[in-house]
């Protein structure tokens, strides 16, 4: 009993360090993302050239900021956001590749996008089912 109480008390004392360090790291990720996006926009302005791969990279920056913002508003990061970021990053690689690249490599990257899209869809179904369960549970509580 004493061992269990001691470990729970220790966990409670240490838990705040995890929460604060997580928030600090996510804030630093958000700041670094803003700086990276600003530098990239400046580089595009200096070059006076905007390509499709540039837009994909800016979209990735926006998704990362959305993920950080989502954490601060809900205290959790939806799993689908990193999956969407990965899809965007792979699409950027496909767009940036030369026409001389091996077809098997491009097919492999396209297959990775398809697998990630399927995973994102499955995760969205999981969230939808979870929300429906919560709604049904709330309705049952109200009726009781």
Instruction: Find the domain containing 125 and state its range.
Output: 78-144
The answer to whether residue 99 sits within a structural domain is: yes
Residue 1, in any domain of the structure: no
33 vs 39: CA distance, rounded Å: 10
Determine the pLDDT at residue 28.
97
Q: How many CB atoms lie within 10 A of CB 57?
A: 19
Number of structural domains found in the chain? 1
List, for residues 48-66, the tens digit of each pLDDT value.
Answer: 999 998 999 999 999 999 9
Residue 69 within a domain = no
What's this model's pTM, rounded to 2 decimal places? Answer: 0.73
140 occurs within a structural domain: yes
Q: Please provide the size of the chain in residues.
A: 144
Is 90 exceeded by the pLDDT of residue 137?
A: no
Is 132's pLDDT higher than 80? no
Question: How large a percentage of the chain has pLDDT more than 70?
Answer: 82
In a domain, 46, yes or no: no
Q: 19: buried, middle or exposed (CB in 10 Å: 19+, 13-18, 0-12)?
A: exposed
In a domain, 82, yes or no: yes
131 pLDDT band, cuts 50/70/90, is: low
The CA-CA-CA angle for residues 39, 40, 41, to 5°, reads 90
- Taking only the tens place, the pLDDT of each residue in 9-48 is 667 777 788 888 989 999 999 999 999 999 999 999 999 9
Residue 8 resides in a domain: no
Residue 68 reports pLDDT greater than 70: yes
Is position 91 within any domain?
A: yes
Q: What angle do CA 14, 15, 16 make, to 5 degrees?
A: 95
């Amino acid at each position: 009993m004493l061992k269990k109480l001691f470990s729970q008390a220790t966990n409670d004392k240490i838990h705040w360090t995890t929460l604060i360090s997580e928030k600090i790291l996510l804030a630093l990720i958000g700041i670094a993302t803003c700086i990276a996006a600003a530098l990239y926009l400046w580089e595009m302005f200096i070059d006076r050239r905007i390509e499709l791969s540039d837009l994909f990279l800016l979209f990735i920056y926006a998704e990362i900021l959305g993920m950080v913002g989502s954490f601060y508003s809900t205290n959790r990061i939806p799993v689908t956001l990193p999956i969407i970021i990965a899809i965007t990053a792979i699409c950027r690689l496909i767009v940036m590749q030369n026409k001389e690249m091996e077809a098997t490599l491009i097919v492999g990257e396209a297959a990775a996008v398809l697998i990630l899209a399927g995973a994102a869809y499955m995760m969205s179904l999981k969230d939808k089912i979870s929300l429906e369960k919560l709604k049904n549970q709330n309705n049952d509580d109200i009726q009781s």
